[in-house]
Chains A and B, each alone.
Chain A
């Protein structure tokens, strides 16, 4: 046993390194206030400080950082979307993720596994071919593979799915990855804090103060803060914030649930998704199978979990892997997904001057954490959205210019 450890064991003080200062009392005013200490809000704070030198920023989080959907998702990172706008955007995020552990000086357990979207019908195969062509056009590595290649990557998979829904092929996406989700929030928080950003946990925004069509401050559980730039990055709470400023959006909230199995020796190297069976699965670095399904079927503002969900999920997962019938589910949970009609996010400026929106992340926003932070920071700093996020603007709905991503976003996450 190293001596240092012995000394540590005998000492009564065990100062764990803090990731960020324990801020309690907010100042009277900030250059920008960010509502929501999830990955998106913290990343925006980090890039505001790093890219634009704007450090007089407060991040207000009503619970603890990463306690929202950032700490509840199944951590799939990929860029094999359907529209060129989507593919470009998510590809930029994947590229930042690849070096992010280095940049944030924190091990994010970013692990590139390859990602198969299984097709069980001819029409699903058509969508896979379409996505492959769009991806190749933009320069993202995706191609359609047949059952033999899927079996080679995952010999445990029953290609006939117990005779229920035989697999015809898949969209293979080489950059598909998983990461440690809460470390992404902590890493951004740590580095933002180091540059001067103040992070307030247990601090809820209860109102937004406006004057003449401009933001002038926010009411919080810790008093009034004046500011003329506010970013809302609250995912499943977005309609409650937009209601404060009478802003209409198409966002509706549905629960999305997930669960993990007991840990096993590593056997599943890739990430598998099946839209038809409403299943996606990967194996975490702890050996647990991380599994999720589609959205709960109706609007509900709650993170409760249900037996119906595990029942449905395990039925389908045992079609794919009959031997898993002996394996136990050990944990399940839910998050609140902010769903848009076209399965693309809503990002950028709003009709209210100084009020910026980063929302509509539904079941797919973890992978976008770095790039949304970066582009929202640019939007706030320049009061102008960069080209990369123009097709995600809120006004697209009034213009009937939707960015249809459903074919690549639902179930697949």
Chain B
């Protein structure tokens, strides 16, 4: 992967981006068990596959989502969180 498409700024060199890890749903801290919370804090889905990830376009300060295959490094699409359907 040499280029990535920022939903705001278009296609930019990968050096302008920072990886933010896989998108994950936070369990409700008031109702979940201690071990569910520990799993949320520490455990990750490390196996390869198509993942929804956080990426950051550093110069413009834009956080967005990229759907990327972590085995082939191919990005299917990128979008702002919550605007998945907008494109």
Give chain A's interface residues, CB within 8 Å of chain B: 238-240, 242-243, 248-253, 297-302, 308, 338, 341, 397-400
Contacts and interface: CB of A to CB of B under 8 A. Distances in A.
Interface of B: 15, 18-19, 22, 34-35, 38-39, 41-48, 51, 53, 70-71, 73
B71 A302 contact: yes
B15 to A, nearest CB: 8
Contacts of B43: 248-250, 397
Q: Across chains A and B, which 3 residue pairs bring their CB atoms closest together, nearest first?
A: A239-B46, A298-B19, A397-B42
B23 to A, nearest CB: 13
Contacts of A308: 15
Instruction: Say whether chain A's binding surface is mostly helix, strand, loop, or mixed.
Output: loop
Nearest to B71: A301
Contacts of A251: 44, 46
Contacts of B53: 298-299
B30 to A, nearest CB: 19
Contacts of B39: 248, 398
Given A250-B46, A308-B15, 19 more contacts: A239-B45, A239-B46, A239-B47, A239-B48, A243-B47, A250-B42, A250-B44, A251-B46, A252-B46, A253-B46, A253-B48, A297-B18, A298-B53, A299-B46, A299-B51, A299-B70, A338-B46, A397-B43, A398-B34
A397 B40 CA distance: 11
A79 to B, nearest CB: 26
A398 B53 CA distance: 24
A249 B18 CA distance: 24
A146 B19 CA distance: 37
Contacts of A338: 46
Most buried by B among A242, A298, A397: A298
A397 B34 CA distance: 12
A242 B45 CA distance: 10
A226 B71 CA distance: 31
Nearest to B22: A299
Contact of A300 (B15, B18, B42, B73): B73
A300 B48 CA distance: 8
A110 to B, nearest CB: 33
B60 to A, nearest CB: 18
A308 B47 CA distance: 25
